[in-house]
Chain A
């Protein structure tokens, strides 16, 4: 099969020359990663604009004529779906997964480069199908990102016709794209690690991406199954999920289906999806913290176990999204318990990050600021998860802004903080240039403080009982007038944070041309991706010979060593051997 050639022979080392082979028909993992990244950032900006429009309506109701209730619901739906699937999943796994896996494990490329290329083009197609729904009669679906039937495909929901069909088709294409990419990531990690790179010597970034990919490969089929069955309910009139019902005075042909069945399927995918996004972020933030604190990651083994443990547990908690759908109290107890148990490995990770910082030589660089910011936002988001994991507290808080604030802190802002940390951290490797430090810090403070200006008051609104997904509040007894001014202030903060992302985009594109050259390994990092002969790495990554790995990825500030870091591809030196048993200083 010519599509599975591994670019490992020296005759594959010459770079592709023409524009088409270099950027369009490229099988180089780095080019595919950047294609994934740019596409994801593009749809992410679309989703960011949608959230701005939503906030305008919520903060200043009756001001904007072009936002009617249908449009509002469509903005909510598309914002959620794009952010979760098409931005976060695609950027973390398609973007960073593609770029980092071969470089960090010392391979020349993914093991199946052709399939990797197909993965990107299928992803692009899914994005195009998704965005096409903005231009079809009725517009995109407004069913909420969870797409619950029966309302998702019934008259009365915006985009119930073309919109939902395009959404389901786009999801199916995305799942195919992800599966092709994901098969590459796991096979590459398992099979293409260079000499000496044992699994336990891999940087945590790779552990996070690897585990998240396994989760994705096993969880996305649930979304595919539900998408296929809902598509058949919509187009061929089957009744998998659709009960007998009367719509707009007419008896529909559906009968006997189970909407709750869809919810189970959806959340069997949906909860692991949270960790598909979170685990790569956990991994990358560990590497950023260790590098910029000049200290080995605290409890590496425990970190690996926690990643794997969280991955396994994430398949046993899905019904905590469905407490209000009604279930046997014994199930509620079971799912509340598993949900709280998952807090244990997660807390281990948070403590280990903090202990990594403890007595470290902390450099407050831009990536480090974002990484520390992540510890704050993730802890806050995680703590509110303890509230919502309990059935009795979840019932009153469900469908309020408290939930919105919780999941935005824990799986919106937190992975985004890590993404910024990671982009700033690896920018010198990707481009060979340094970004502008001052603009980066400005971007951090706007984003970090703005996040709290948006989401802290939102918790409070949730406690008041302000419902989510509502176009306008109307007049209610239990919501005071002051809630509206809080809503307006949230909107202003959100617009400022949204606009401040322009600083980031400007910095990224300006620095490609005008940044000062970064040179080799500007952060003094130990992991393999910084040890390539060229910066940015060329096609084939390693020149004529693959690197050899002699140590784990966190040899920072080793006593007696010449520098405060020892790259993974440096063998034990004479100085190290004479300074006694290597591990004594660190274990």
Chain B
């Protein structure tokens, strides 16, 4: 392992002689951005991981009523959530398509892909908001039950991360107009694409968790020792 070899290094032993190699020009910008994204994904991952852990711990208190399992509960039939999931998956596919376009140097595919990604993402957010309204009209309010609270909280936090992604993406998109050089777009768009896929993955985990029946949640909580 590279890092282990690095940590075994004895830096006091071998000072180097004056080198003749070319002057070091400064950090590699694209590499720095990749490292940045890895750290961001790690932090967002930890954030959702902690929320999920508290969800499992809280689910073991007697007043917790899961949102699925009984006929009167909203996600016993999660078809509405499958629809929203499809929207977000379309956004992921579209941004991947746009990225393929930039790599091939096709500006029209890039624009179409990014536009579709933004469209589907905004549609997903609107659909999630509509879901909130529907839950409210069914009497599942934020403070009614911890399961409801977690549904609103986790979808809101996930939505905020998507909105953050849209802000960054819009910043990336304006490059196309400023530079008009699709090559300069490839690296940042690659990072955006990874972020979108990551948030789709997070959403799938949340989806599975929030629509789980009580037995599933109890089994998961038991595995975590709660």
Contact = CB atoms under 8 A, between A and B. Distances in A.
A206 B28 CA distance: 20
Contacts of B46: 218, 221
Contacts of A112: 32, 36
Nearest to A238: B149
Given A221-B43, A239-B149, A261-B54, A1 B172 contact: yes
A164 interface: no
B12 A111 contact: no
Contact of A256 (B12, B33, B64, B157): B64
Contacts of A199: 6
Contacts of B29: 4, 6, 111
A548 B24 contact: yes
Contacts of B32: 6, 111-112, 187, 191-192
A324 B175 CA distance: 57
B19 A187 contact: no
A198 B39 CA distance: 21
Nearest to A570: B15
A194 interface: yes
Given A200-B6, A221-B50, A572-B17, A179 B11 contact: no
Nearest to B8: A301
B149 A1 contact: no
Interface string B172-196: 1001000000000000100000000
Interface in B1-52: 6-19, 21, 23-29, 31-33, 35-36, 39-40, 42-43, 46-47, 50-51
Contacts of B168: 1
Contacts of A186: 35, 39
Contacts of A16: none
A583 B23 CA distance: 27
Interface residues on chain A, size class: 35 or more
Interface residues on chain B, size class: 35 or more
A253 interface: yes
B103 interface: no
A390 B202 CA distance: 39
Contact of A552 (B11, B47, B153): B11
B27 A192 contact: yes
Contact of A196 (B16, B58, B63): B16
A183 B36 CA distance: 6
B47 A195 contact: no
B12 A554 contact: yes
A551 B62 CA distance: 63
B23 A191 contact: no
B170 to A, nearest CB: 10
B24 A217 contact: no
Contacts of A111: 27, 29, 32, 36
B18 A232 contact: no
A9 B27 CA distance: 11
Interface in A552-581: 552, 554-555, 571-572, 576
A256 B62 contact: yes
19 contacts: A1-B171, A1-B175, A8-B25, A187-B35, A196-B16, A200-B6, A221-B43, A221-B47, A232-B153, A237-B142, A238-B146, A238-B149, A239-B149, A256-B64, A258-B61, A261-B54, A551-B11, A572-B17, A583-B13
The 9 closest A-B pairs by CB, nearest first: A8-B26, A256-B63, A551-B15, A195-B24, A583-B13, A571-B18, A552-B11, A237-B143, A192-B27
Interface of B: 6-19, 21, 23-29, 31-33, 35-36, 39-40, 42-43, 46-47, 50-51, 54, 57-58, 61-64, 142-143, 146, 149, 153, 157, 168, 171-172, 175, 188
Interface of A: 1, 3-4, 6, 8-9, 107-108, 111-112, 179, 183, 186-188, 190-192, 194-196, 198-201, 217-218, 221-222, 224-225, 228-229, 232, 236-240, 253, 255-258, 261, 264-265, 268, 296, 300-301, 304-305, 308, 545-546, 548, 550-552, 554-555, 571-572, 576, 582-583, 586-587
